[in-house]
Amino acid sequence: MTRFLIIGAVLLSFNTLPFAAGPSQDLKASKPRAYINALRVDTPPVVDGHMDDEIWQKAPVAGDFVQDDPIAGAPMTERTEFRILYDNEALYIGFWCYDSEPNKIFARSLSRDNWPDEDDFIHFAIDPFLDRRNGYLFAFNANGSRFDAIINNNAYAGNSWDTIWNCRGSINNEGWFCEVKLPFDSLAFAPGNTTWGFNVDRTIRRKNEEGKWHTEGRHLSTSAVANAGEIRGLEGLNRVSKWEITPFVVGKYQHDHIGGDGKTMSDFGGDISYRLASNLNATLSLNTDFAETEVDTRQLNFTRFSLMYPEKRDFFLKDSGIFQFGAGYYKSAPMPSTPFFSRRIGLTHSGQPVQINLATKVSGRIGKYNIGMIGAMLDDYENLDGQNAFITRVSKNVLEQSSVGMISTMGDPNSEMDAYMLGTDFNYRTTRFLTDKTFRTSIYSMANYDDETDWNYAHGTSLSYPNEFIDAGLSYYQIDEDFKPKIGFTRRTGVRHYGTQLSIRPRTEKISWLRKYHLSYYNSLYTTLANQMESQKHSFYIPYLDFESGYSFSFEIEREFDRPDQDFTVSGGGKVPAGEYWWTDYNFDVDLPDAGLINGGFGYVIGHWYHGEKNTIYARVGFDPFKWLNTSVSYSHNGFELPDSEFDAQISSLNFRFNFTPDMGWSHLFQHDNISDSMGYNTRFFWEFKPGKKAYIVLRQNYG
């Protein structure tokens, strides 16, 4: 425990330093920040995508977009303008995306929550706290399809989060146009702030052209709100709804095809939310049910370590960025252990659901502090009495783009043991390194206690230089043998890890058919705590090619070593004996253009694998013939030749969705693998009949 306390004391001392005590200093931008003044209105526009309300013509206009791709700094080849209005209820943004060839505009999707990169589209980021760190990301195409996501510490933090907003688009002989309504009730924001961070990005798909309203370098994404422009003049934003009550009623029918038994069940419950302040929310969920949650994508495991499945439940996804710990995930610095993994709550180790009788959450921001607390009461299951779980995360914004914080968890949803976890982290980020470059570093430490193993520890650090020409990084971490947080996820224990990354990415603007290429090297080395080499991987990309046509190609050579200390079995039944192994494989990968009627990619991997040989063929193909129909097929075949056996492992899926409107869809997912020799079918009808009010019809069936 001493190691943890020393590191924690050092990190928390940042709270007492002068730079953390005074008001936040605005970043000294490398170029003047673009800004637009919002116009307050008494009567808002009708959100229909036709832009014919007279009030739009009275609002200030912003535009002058410049390219990130293909020619950095050049004006975009098609004109883009936008205007912003607001009233007591919402923010209204109108976009005019002019196009000299409107018949070539791509608008092939109506799907909710799909990133519309196969179409012409707009995406914009809002930083309502003006903390230059956190915010929201929204995207849409000319059909008014909607995508929303969280921005945490200037990075995209996941798209499973949904909020209430409206978007309508249209196409005419001048281009495509869209109106957006963002209710203030849907966003957390700092009361009294008259200025919000804001940036807009437009993609013209047929030209593979992308540009921004405010750009300080093509290596900075729209999610980098530290380098965004501003919305000014937002006066009197203090009226928000205090209460929100969302009841639900669920009817279920389960049928056992083997036993012939069937049963009908019904249940009810709901969520009650109270806005403690415009930037702090409390939620109480009674008899929580997740029947509408999307089914997990099947995975095959060819390693000796467990797999991690993503969280998909709305209750845990909302404000999930506040609970993020450490540096997040980068190729040079993957988080080896997650102190809080919300799938531990309400799901057993095998993925079976456990009823959550009551769940509470308080999340938001107060001044420089980011606060998140979750408590959950679980029902009895099997021979285990109902358990409780508690999570607390507090971090403080320091410097210009950095933070320092702590996290704690209590409880074990899958046993009656006492269990505690404490963690502290410091994350530094600047986009002014060497004048205009991005630099990140992180340091963290965690301590875990349970009745069986007493105290165990994990700590690590990383450096990252993610820029346009050079992308490089270093990482190190150590995890004790029995460090296994009961509400977290740890894939590998009893190791020290060393990682490096170097990618050189020149642009080839003098070669008309080639946009850029990469020469990259990644490595990952694991030793035991006694410093004995346990495994290592070296990856060489020679090269990765990105063509002007939208195609891309990569050739990877991978050299790998592993020393399992006991036999293990992989998906498909193959057995790898304990021992020391070196092997090499070769990967050829092709990505198809997003602008094509058929998109996706395919590849082939051939080489050795432990004491045998392995080859893999994989493909994902999307086909969108109409905006109301989106389809995709994926397939992976892994063939193994071992001294004592030959076997293969296959997994495939078919996904198609009928989109009646942007607010109504019917999806179908078929999944099959030859390991379980079963076919899974999941269909879900979704209808948002009123903003924030949803109805679902879900059918799940397993054959085999």
Query: Tokens for 415?
Result: 């046993």
- Which phi and psi (to 5°) does residue 102 adopt? -60, -25
Query: Tokens for 82?
Result: 């936008």
Q: Cα–Cα distance between 363 and 372 in angstroms, integer?
A: 4
- DSSP for 211-238 reads EESS-S-TTS-TT-GGG-EEEE------
**C-beta of residue 270 within 8 angstroms of C-beta of residue 286:** yes
| pLDDT score for 448 | 95
Q: Cα–Cα distance between 337 and 648 in angstroms, integer?
A: 31
Q: How far is CA 376 from each of CA 8, 152, 345, 357, 359, rounded to the nearest angstrom?
A: 27, 24, 8, 8, 4
Residue 650 burial by CB count (10 A; 0-12/13-18/19+): exposed, middle or buried? middle
Listed by start position, the domains of the chain span 31-232, 505-704
| pLDDT score for 190 | 79
| pLDDT score for 456 | 95
Which of 133-137, 363-367, 406-410, 685-689 is modeled with the greatest confidence? 406-410
Going by pLDDT thresholds of 50, 70 and 90, the confidence category of residue 22 is very low
pTM assigned to the model: 0.84
- Which phi and psi (to 5°) does residue 284 adopt? -120, 125
- DSSP designation for 318: T
- Per residue in 234-285, pLDDT (tens digit) is 998 876 667 777 777 776 666 666 666 777 766 777 788 888 876 788 988 8
Q: Is the dihedral of CA 92, 93, 98, 102 positive or negative?
A: negative
Q: Cα–Cα distance between 487 and 307 in angstroms, integer?
A: 16
**C-beta of residue 188 within 8 angstroms of C-beta of residue 108:** no
| pLDDT score for 531 | 95
Going by pLDDT thresholds of 50, 70 and 90, the confidence category of residue 19 is very low
Q: Is the dihedral of CA 341, 343, 346, 348 positive or negative?
A: negative
| pLDDT score for 367 | 83
Q: Who contacts 528 (Cβ-Cβ below 8 Å, separation ≥6)?
A: 494, 495, 496, 534
Which range has the worst mean pLDDT, 98-102, 215-219, 528-532? 215-219
Output the CA angle 14-19-20, nearest 5 degrees: 55
204 pLDDT above the threshold of 70? yes
Residue ranges of E strands in 548-628:
552-562, 568-569, 575-576, 581-591, 598-609, 612-626
CATH topology of domain 31-232: Immunoglobulin-like (2.60.40)
**C-beta of residue 529 within 8 angstroms of C-beta of residue 496:** yes
26 pLDDT above the threshold of 60? no
- Per residue in 357-407, pLDDT (tens digit) is 889 999 988 888 999 999 999 988 888 888 899 999 999 999 988 999 999
The distance of Cα 262 from the centroid of its chain, to the nearest Å, equals 38
Q: How far is CA 698 from each of CA 163, 313, 546, 554, rounded to the nearest angstrom?
A: 21, 15, 41, 40
What burial letters (b/e) apply to 169-193, b meaning 16+ CB within 10 Å?
A: bbbeeebbbbbbbbbbbbbbbbeeb
End-to-end Cα separation, the chain, in angstroms: 50
Cross-strand partners of 589: 554, 603
Q: Which run of H or E residues covers position 636?
A: strand 629-642
- Which phi and psi (to 5°) does residue 7 adopt? -65, -40
Q: Cα–Cα distance between 135 and 130 in angstroms, integer?
A: 9
Q: Cα–Cα distance between 15 and 405 in angstroms, integer?
A: 10
**C-beta of residue 330 within 8 angstroms of C-beta of residue 470:** no
| pLDDT score for 509 | 74
Average pLDDT over residues 193-217: 94
Average pLDDT over residues 475-499: 94
Query: Tokens for 186?
Result: 């849907």
Among 368, 389, 265, 369, which residue's Cα sits nearest to residue 316? Answer: 389
